[in-house]
Structure 1
Amino acid sequence: MPSGPLSIRPVTTKRDTKQFIEIAYTLNSGDPHWVPPLRDEVASTISPKKNGWFSHAEAQYFLAERDGKPVGRISAHIDFLALEMPADRGFGPGTGFWGLFDAQDENTAKALINAAEDWLRGKGMTKALGPVSLSIWEEPGLLVKGHDHSPTVLMGHHPAHYQAWIEAAGYKEAKKLITYDLRVDTGFPPLINRIVAAGEKNSRIHIRKVNKSKFAEEAAIILAILNDAWADNWGFVPLTQPEIDDVGKKLKPLVFEDLIMIAELDGEPVAFMVTLPDLNEAVKPLKGSLLPFGWAKLLWWLHKPRARTMRVPLMGVVKRLQASRLASQLAFMMIEYIRRAAVADYGATRGEIGWVLDDNQGMNAIADAIESKINREYIIYQKPL
Structure 2
Amino acid sequence: MSVAKSDRNQISLVEAKSGQTIQDFLHLPDRIYANDPAWIAPLMFEQKERVFNNKPLFEHCDVACWVAYRDGAPVGRITAQLDQLQPEEDGGGKIGYFGMFEAIDDTAVCDALFETAQNWLRTKGAAFMRGPYNLTINEDLGLLVENFDDPPFIMMGHAPRYYQQRFEDQGLIKIKDLLTYKVRPDFVAPDVMLKLAARASRTVTIRPLNPKAKAADFEAMRDIFNDAWSDNWGFVPFTQAEFAETAKVLSLLLSDDYIQFAEIDGRPVAFITAFPNVNELIGDLRGRLLPFGWAKLLWRLKVKGPRSARVALMGVRKEYQNSRLGPTLAFLVIDAVRKAMQQRNVTSVEMGWILEDNHGMRHIIEAIGSTIYKRYRVYQKPL
Q: Same fold (TM over 0.5)?
A: yes
- Note the alpha carbon deviations across 1:171-218, whole angstroms, 9 max, x for none: 101111110111223433444333333333x1x110111113322111
Partner residue in 1 for 2:96: 96
1:218 aligns with 2:217: yes
Letter in 2 for 1:352: E
Moved more, 247-256 or 18-27: 247-256
Letter in 1 for 2:78: I
Length-normalised TM-score, structure 2? 0.94
Paired residue secondary structure (1:148)? coil
Judge conservation of contact 1:185–1:350 (CA < 8 Å) in 2: no
1:26 aligns with 2:31: yes
1:366 aligns with 2:364: yes
Judge conservation of contact 1:205–1:264 (CA < 8 Å) in 2: yes
Partner residue in 1 for 2:22: 17
Segments of structure 2 that go 5 or more residues without pairing to the other structure are none
Change (3 A) 1:132 1:50: closer
Change (3 A) 1:106 1:181: same
CA distance in 2, matches of 1:12, 1:372: 43
Paired residue secondary structure (2:120)? helix
Partner residue in 1 for 2:179: 178
Paired residue secondary structure (2:126)? coil
Moved more, 229-238 or 21-30: 21-30
Paired residue secondary structure (1:120)? helix
Partner residue in 2 for 1:342: 341
Compute the displacement of 1:330 (Å): 1.4
Percent identity for Structure 1 against Structure 2: 40
Letter in 2 for 1:176: D
Moved more, 22-31 or 139-148: 22-31
Length-normalised TM-score, structure 1? 0.94
Change (3 A) 1:12 1:258: closer
Judge conservation of contact 1:132–1:139 (CA < 8 Å) in 2: yes
Change (3 A) 1:178 1:50: same
1:110 aligns with 2:111: yes
Partner residue in 2 for 1:45: 50
CA distance in 1, matches of 2:17, 2:207: 48
Alignment partner for residue 77 of structure 2, among 73, 76, 95? 73
CA distance in 2, matches of 1:251, 1:206: 23
Judge conservation of contact 1:33–1:150 (CA < 8 Å) in 2: yes
Moved more, 11-20 or 56-65: 11-20
CA distance in 2, matches of 1:339, 1:267: 23
Segments of structure 1 that go 5 or more residues without pairing to the other structure are none
CA distance in 2, matches of 1:161, 1:16: 25
CA distance in 2, matches of 1:275, 1:13: 35
Letter in 2 for 1:87: E
Judge conservation of contact 1:44–1:51 (CA < 8 Å) in 2: no
